[in-house]
Amino acid sequence: MRSGSARGEVLKERWKAFDSVPDLPDIVVASSSLESSALLTEKDVTTVAVIVGPALPGDDDLRPTPGAIEASLRYGVDFADLAERAGFTGEAGTTHIALLPRVHSRRGAHLPWDGLPLRIVLLGSGSGGPADLRHAGAALAKVTRDDDRVVISLAPFVDSGSVRSAVEGYLLGAFRAPRLTSQQTAVGSAMPQVVLLVGEEPRDTLESEVQSVVAGARGTWLARQLTALPSDVKTPQWVAARAGALADQAGLEYRVWDEAQLSEEGFGGIAAVSRGSSREARLVTVTYEPVLNSDGAGQSADVPKPQHVVLVGKGMTYDSGGLALKPRTSMVSMKSDMAGAAVALATVLAAADSRSPHRVTAVLPLAENALGGASYRPGDVIRTYDGTTVEITNPDAEGQIVLSDALGYARLRLEPDLLIDIATLTGATTTALGHHRAALFTTDEALAEVVAGAGARTGEQVWRLPLVRDYRSALDSELADIRQTARGDQGAGAIMAGLFMQRFAGDTRWAHLDIAGTARSTAELHEVPEGATGFGVRLLLETLAAL
């Protein structure tokens, strides 16, 4: 008998805080400038932020931006000079905070900044490019956590691309990892309101830009939160229930398979991996269906042809290695082994949120790879959803097994135009690329360009690795259609796993993203927090937008 479900219910009650994503900072666009804005005299405005140069990389002198000049005129303080004397270089992601003095009560003199916010944050913008503005936004978020209301002049970076980057950086940088303390207060602590002063720039364009940024950032927060959650809370059943609740909230169709249904319908891979665990596996699909306007939007020449994009995300709620038990230190971070599923789920929700013209389905195979008397063994042969037989050779390569079921299902039942799987699949990817580049595999050149371009624009960057044909024979099995892992001392672990997955995509247009390195970061870096990063949500959203 399995006892996982009853225990899961108790925990769900206990960590209710995780049933929702905390509110993001509120972003407001205002058509005024620092020189004249009446906002600056409002009591709850606690910080004023301006972007300062340098205008060019390698430029030593700070070149005051229009925003900095406006602030200087309003306050009667030369802020560029102040920053320069403090050794501030204007490098992207750095800040200089000026706390303006109040006059001593016994003097009663008048200061030019009387009645204005006394905390000024000068933000380095580096070259002023998208990545640098994202870093500037993230830096501002970190120094305004305790503020009620922040006013920022973005001038001269008020075009929609620049606003997007700065706001994105702010929202991503404002995330705080949930804590499970006895107080349970860390989640949902109030976020500041941020007012963007954009001068004459048309507000409605910028407001819709901000909305789309918020959708991606909220998705990233959701993925980070789910990935950071401990495995004793997020059983496969819990994640399935959470996915269902989120789909319901968004008005999306979803379906959940329990273990009996999975076995009955031939999902032999998920069943095999899950067998050693006391926690039942689940498979979840969530579908977003775009509503086409009656005027035929989606048909006209300048609008892309709507496609069905299926996102398959690896959802190991814990990976102990199974019978190939991991060493203690490797096991510590394995609650993150469902990051792919978290990202796929968050992406379909964000695609709905931002009204993507494409149909998007997330397919989430959820299971726990545990050590037990019933665990699947090396030497076993399993049959996956599409009928392929696999000779098990290393129970720690469990991701490939659950994904083969999910990819087979997606290919055979969902009629995808494009299939993308995203998975914390191999430690070899981390060895090769570290924590700030994901591995991209595809044989489709155009698709490789789309995904790499999306990576460059979002900062969630990918590096393409080859699906070396000559390596394929190392997966030949004497017993089954294919071996789970390569025979002999083959090396190229990330590529071998990619070659294994390729078989299950068949002839469908397909890309594989190995996020083993990028799903968690070892240190905070600009908009990327330490721990769960949510890497992939913005990459996939931007990929959808570029199709």
- Inter-axis angle of helices 445-458 and 537-546, to 10 degrees? 130
CB under 6 A: which stretch of 131-139, 177-185, 192-200, 397-405 binds ligand BES?
397-405
Q: Is the Cβ–Cβ distance between 49 and 151 less than 8 Å?
A: yes
Quote the CA–CA distance of 227 and 234 in Å, as a whole number.
9
Quote the CA–CA distance of 94 and 83 in Å, as a whole number.
12
The SS3 call for residue 252 is: coil
- 498 sits near Zn ion (criterion: CB under 5 A): no
Q: Which of 84, 259, 280, 319 binds Zn ion (CB under 5 A)?
A: 319
- 516 sits near ligand BES (criterion: CB under 6 A): yes
- Which token pair is 373? 């008397």
Q: Is the Cβ–Cβ distance between 363 and 285 less than 8 Å?
A: yes
- 399 sits near ligand BES (criterion: CB under 6 A): yes
- 485 sits near ligand BES (criterion: CB under 6 A): yes
Neighbours of 255 (CB within 10 A): 12
Peptide bond just before 306 cis, omega within 30 deg: no
Q: Is the Cβ–Cβ distance between 272 and 401 less than 8 Å?
A: yes
CB under 6 A: which stretch of 40-48, 228-236, 269-277, 422-430 binds ligand BES?
422-430
- 33 sits near ligand BES (criterion: CB under 6 A): no
Quote the CA–CA distance of 53 and 401 in Å, as a whole number.
51
Q: State which residue, 178 or 493, has the beta carbon closest to ligand BES.
A: 493
* Residue 216, contacted partner among Mn ion, ligand BES, Zn ion, none, CB below 5-8 A by kind: none
Show the binding pattern over residues 380-409: x = contacts Zn ion (CB under 5 A), - = does not. -------------------x----------
Q: How far is the CB of 116 from Mn ion (least distance, A)?
A: 57
List the one residue out of 387, 366, 341 whose CA is nearest residue 257. 366
Q: How far is the CB of 18 from ligand BES (least distance, A)?
A: 22
- 498 sits near ligand BES (criterion: CB under 6 A): no
Q: State which residue, 162 or 369, has the beta carbon closest to ligand BES.
A: 369
Quote the CA–CA distance of 413 and 310 in Å, as a whole number.
11
- 315 sits near ligand BES (criterion: CB under 6 A): no
Q: Report angle CA 214, 437, 348 to the nearest 5 degrees.
A: 35
- 337 sits near Zn ion (criterion: CB under 5 A): yes
Q: How far is the CB of 513 from Mn ion (least distance, A)?
A: 17
- 227 sits near ligand BES (criterion: CB under 6 A): no
Instruction: Report which residue's Cβ sits closest to Zn ion.
Output: 319
* Residue 184, contacted partner among ligand BES, Zn ion, Mn ion, none, CB below 5-8 A by kind: none
User: If you count them, how many residues does the chain have?
Assistant: 547
- 8 sits near Zn ion (criterion: CB under 5 A): no
For residue 357, give the amino acid letter. P
Interface ranges with Zn ion (CB under 5 A) = 316, 319, 337, 399
Interface ranges with ligand BES (CB under 6 A) = 319, 337, 394, 396-399, 424-428, 430, 485, 493, 516
